[in-house]
Amino acid sequence: MTSVPGSPAEGRGGRTPNGVRPPAPLCAAPNPSYEPAAFVVPAGACDSHAHVVSGEPRHPLVEGRSYTPPPAPEADYLRMLEGTGMSRGVLVQISVYGTDNRYLLEVLARHPEKLRGVAVVDPSVDDETLLEMHRAGVRGLRINVLFGGGVGWQVMETLAARIAGLGWHLQLLMDVRELPGLLPRISALPVPVVVDHLGHLPASGGPDSQGFRALLSLLTDHDAWVKLSGAYRLDAGAPDYPDARALAEAVLEAAPDRVVYGSDWPHVAVPHGMPDTGRLRNLLASWAPDEDLLRRVLVDNPARLYDFPPLA
């Protein structure tokens, strides 16, 4: 059975019996080359989920992190976008920076037409800071209950109320096996929700598993969104991840206008071997073989969700 790394019990990282926190494990670097595109990537295509890590001392990592990533700086990220044919990108605040969004905001500010962001904040954040983030390109906040360094369920309603007037969304990094008990709270939020990584549950359970059926209910009954990302986190069957494909096809059928694609570069805390970012993009051609559907997932849906300017 496929395991899911970073479960609530595992991901927060406890202490050893003597009270000392174990060192956060080092991650491998992503592959620098990419499988060539197996389809014509449309103009305006967006990679809606990736991270940047400066690697510089002025951007320190939080002590309570679950892993230690290698540097994945702005220049490498932009090369990845170009190498995989993506015109646009969405950067998600990586958990190892906690609520220190400085590097994320620095990168966004340099590419206002090309990039958008999802930040992580404490509920005490002031309104002017949120407005400054909006001007920099942030369009959502992330709730993270899987890896150390994030903010969790206890602040969800507070944050949703703070961002409703900005037109932002909440992005949920969770294992949707928890979702049935959370549906009443999530469905009552005054903002859209976006679920990471196809729900981050073992794909071997298939689309009829209880947690995934709850995700489909959230999509169909409450206008939620989902990211086609992190297949390698759900399924050990590299390189095509057949169990994850069944989940992808199910969400595409349920809500084709509320699904976006993300590479999850630089693939931190990889459980089953470093994936090829180009290969992950190419899987879309089998998950969404219709050209119109591909365009919705890569261009139209992210343009609407992340408030990108019209294509020239």
Q: Which domains does the chain have, with CATH numbers?
A: 40-305 (3.20.20.140)
**Residue 168: what residue type?**
W
What pLDDT was estimated at residue 95?
93
Indicate whether 247 pLDDT > 70.
yes
pLDDT of 19 reads 53
**pLDDT tops 50 at residue 6:** no
Q: Which amino acid is at 234?
A: L
- Assign 23 a pLDDT band (cuts: 50, 70, 90): confident
Cβ–Cβ under 8 Å, residues 87 and 44: yes
Could you check whether the bond before residue 5 is cis, i.e. omega within 30 degrees of 0? Answer: no
pTM: 0.92
Q: Is 39 exposed, middle or buried (0-12, 13-18, 19+ CB in 10 A)?
A: middle
For residue 145, name the pLDDT band (cuts at 50, 70, 90).
Answer: confident
200: part of which helix (H) or strand (E)? none
Alpha carbons within 13 angstroms on the beta-carbon side of residue 183 total 19
SS3 state at 128: helix
pLDDT at residue 10, rounded to an integer: 32
| Reported confidence tier of residue 271, pLDDT bands at 50, 70, 90 | confident
pLDDT for residue 16: 46
Q: At what angle do helices 74-83 and 102-110 cross, to 10 degrees?
A: 50
Instruction: Inform me whether the pLDDT recorded for 261 exceeds 90.
Output: yes
> Which residues are designated catalytic?
264
